[in-house]
Amino acid sequence: MKPYVEMTVDELNQELTSLKAQYKKVQALGINLDMRRGIPCQEQLDLSMGMMDVLSSASDLTCDDGTDCRNYGQLTGIEEARELLGDMMENNPKDIIIYGNSSLNVMFDAVSRAWSHGVMGNTPWCKLPEVKFLCPVPGYDRHFAITEFFGIDMIPVPMTPTGPDMDMVERLVREDEAIKGIWCVPKYSNPQGISYSDETVRRFARLEPAAQDFRIFWDNAYGLHHLYDHRQDYLIEILAECKRAGNPDLVYKFSSTSKITFPGSGIAAMATSPNNMEDIVTFLRHQTIGHDKVNQLRHVRFFKDIHGMVEHMRKHADIIRPKFEAVTSTLERDLGELDIGTWTTPLGGYFIMFDSLPGCAKSIVALCKKAGVKMTPAGATWPYGKDPNDSNIRIAPTYPSLADLKTAVEIFTLCVRIASAKHLIEQKQAQ
């Protein structure tokens, strides 16, 4: 079939009539599938059930340094957990703070702390006339929700195949003292699934922000989330690069085991410089006496070391790789010749990004919903939920079964074709 843009209005109307008939048949099936969030499926969660058995009432819950995990103490986490997460994050255990189950909570705390009390002695953000944050787009909606919650002005920065537009990032942070941070998902980014290039990471480490309290919020959520053994993205370690560049305090680096073990019961961590650590721990002493050390020990006993974690992630990949491949192969089969959309083919992470013709994304998502497939809202990948092109859609393949996913993607491509044909008919008739 020739591309839709090359069709006449009559040809598009004929195509649309056929597509609408298919759509009615789909609606009659009463399908109910949910692809709104990137969450592990049951088979992935089952991989970690052994964690429930590594500790029992008969277990020794004492750490190597004598810490009793049942009691108070160890504000920054038990040493064994700091070592495990340090290996996972490629950082010195001394530069790691272990938190509770959610890295998103740690990021919220970091913004809240800066808002109410400032960063390393600087003026609290709440006392400044304006506070701004850079937001690579398309990006992670929950990041944007945090800064929007605090009333921080969010500035979109275009993403490129190698990361954020660094010319724009460098210029903005150098010229505007009100810019206090930037959100980053540097590896297998949400939603594109791309990883920052070596040059991009080095340029981040060498930023010259006007604001002394500017911080890079480096959310390395998918550091071990490869889909393939022999085709993997690699990322320069940002803290080491910042230290080499003479900017040791520039980064807060976040990670967690949320999509490695149990999302509701994982452990989260922040890695940062000694100066930032001292500043953060000052506040932590007022916030908590310590996070869940029993859960930290449970993770350590289950994985034993980073090698155990890597092998565990291979099992995850075996489960979700066929799902990613099913999505991309269906997109190629149904849309590849029509020139009405583009999509990413990531080597890891949790998402595939789809870009429709401008002005079609909301219509596509609405059509999917009416056909029984719930998608992430169009626009969610932009600050304030406002995609100026109305084209970006995030596809989350992990949760549905493979059979359900194939059905959902076929419905999705049908909706893309319907929305695109309608849009082009309107365009051509208006000319």
The pair of three-digit structure tokens given for residue 330, joined into one six-digit string? 């269906």
Q: What pLDDT does 121 receive?
A: 96
What are the pLDDT tens digits along the chain (431 aa)? 899 999 999 999 999 999 999 999 999 999 999 888 899 999 999 999 999 999 999 999 999 999 999 999 999 999 999 999 999 999 999 999 999 999 999 999 999 999 999 999 999 999 999 999 999 999 999 999 999 999 999 999 999 999 999 999 999 999 999 999 999 999 999 999 999 999 999 999 999 999 999 999 999 999 999 999 999 999 999 999 999 999 999 999 999 999 999 998 999 999 999 999 999 999 999 999 999 999 999 999 999 999 999 999 999 999 999 999 999 999 999 999 999 999 999 999 999 999 999 999 999 999 999 999 999 999 999 999 999 999 999 999 999 999 999 999 999 999 999 999 999 999 999 88
Between CA 397 and CA 350 the distance in angstroms is 7
| Owner of token pair 């000694």 | 274
């009333």: which residue's tokens? 151
Same fold across 4-44+310-430 and 61-303 = no
Tokens of 401: 């079964």
| Residue 210 neighbours by CB under 8 Å, 6+ apart | 173, 174, 175, 176, 177, 179
In angstroms, rounded to a whole number, what is the distance separating the alpha carbons of residues 63 and 425? Answer: 68
> Measured in Å, how far apart are the chain's first and last C-alpha atoms?
24
Per-residue pLDDT, 1: 84
CB 252 within 8 A of CB 120: no
Q: Any idea what DSSP says for residue 262?
A: -
Length of the chain: 431
* Residue 182 backbone dihedrals phi, psi, to 5 degrees: -145, 135
CA 104 to chain centre: 10
Q: Which of 48, 21, 45, 31 is nearest to 405 (CA)?
A: 31
Residue 336's pLDDT is what? 95
Class of domain 61-303: alpha beta
Give me the residue label for tokens 């401008």. Answer: 358
Q: CA 201, CA 241: separation in Å to the nearest integer?
A: 8
Tokens found for residue 15: 């195509």
The CATH code of domain 4-44+310-430 reads 3.90.1150.10
Cα–Cα dist 286/282, whole Å: 7
Q: Identify the DSSP state of 74.
A: -
3-state secondary structure of 132: strand
Angle of the 306-335 helix axis to the 402-430 helix axis, nearest 10: 40
**pLDDT, position 164:** 98
Q: Which residues contact 113 (CB under 8 A, 6 or more apart)?
A: 119, 280, 283
> How many Å apart are CA 35 and CA 13, to the nearest integer?
30
How far is residue 78's CA from residue 75's CA, in Å, rounded to a whole number? 8
Q: What is the DSSP string of 341-399?
A: EEE---SBSS-EEEEESTT-HHHHHHHHHHTTEEEPPTTTTSGGG--TTS-EEEE--SS
Per-domain residue ranges of the chain: 4-44+310-430, 61-303
188 close to 222: Cβ distance less than 8 angstroms: yes
pLDDT for the residue 256: 97
**Whether the Cβ atoms of residue 254 and residue 106 lie closer than 8 Å to each other:** yes
Residue 85, both tokens: 């997460």
Q: Is 149 helix (H, G, I), strand (E, B) or coil?
A: helix
**Cα 385 from Cα 156, distance rounded (Å):** 12
Residue 226 pairs in a beta bridge with 348
Closest to 342 (Cα-Cα) out of 416, 245, 430: 416
Tokens of 323: 């799902």
C-alpha to C-alpha distances, 60 to 45, 52, 234, 267, 304, nearest whole angstrom: 26, 15, 38, 20, 15
Q: At what angle do helices 402-430 and 9-27 cross, to 10 degrees?
A: 150
Sequence-distant (6+) residues with CB within 8 A of 118 are: 124, 125, 213
